[in-house]
Amino acid sequence: MEYIVVFITVPNLEVGEKIGNTLVEEKLAACVNITSEIKSVYFWKGRIEEDKEHLLIIKTRKDKFESLEKRVKEIHPYEVPEIIAMPIVLGSKDYLSWIDESLER
């Protein structure tokens, strides 16, 4: 199995909770951490923008990414939401087993 961490920024806590709960309930994520407010600086439509956002840190498997991305795009308010994944190179066997158990239907 290949495990990943997915990062998604959201405009507020309410959206973060909605996305997080949806992904866990639908077995697309084993766990979603929602950070307290962060400041994002980014380039958008020819301008540098600054916004306060929250960051979702999602633990899942690579085979779930395509469905996760599709589902997030359905409920995320941004035109182009950040949905990026990084591989988990190493992890506790117990934790990785828990991810598998959490994603089973």
Task: Give burial (CB, 10 Å; 0-12/13-18/19+) of 27.
Answer: middle
How many domains does the chain divide into?
A: 1
pLDDT number for residue 13:
98
Write the CATH number for 32. 3.30.70.120
- pLDDT band per the 50, 70, 90 thresholds, residue 105: low
pTM, two decimal places: 0.95
pLDDT (tens digit per residue) in 2-53: 999 999 999 999 999 999 999 999 999 999 999 999 999 999 999 999 999 9
Task: Judge whether 6 and 91 are in contact, CB under 8 Å.
Answer: no
User: Which residue range forms the structural domain that includes residue 91?
Assistant: 3-103
User: Amino acid identity of 67?
Assistant: S
Residues 80 and 26: their CA atoms lie apart, in Å, by: 22
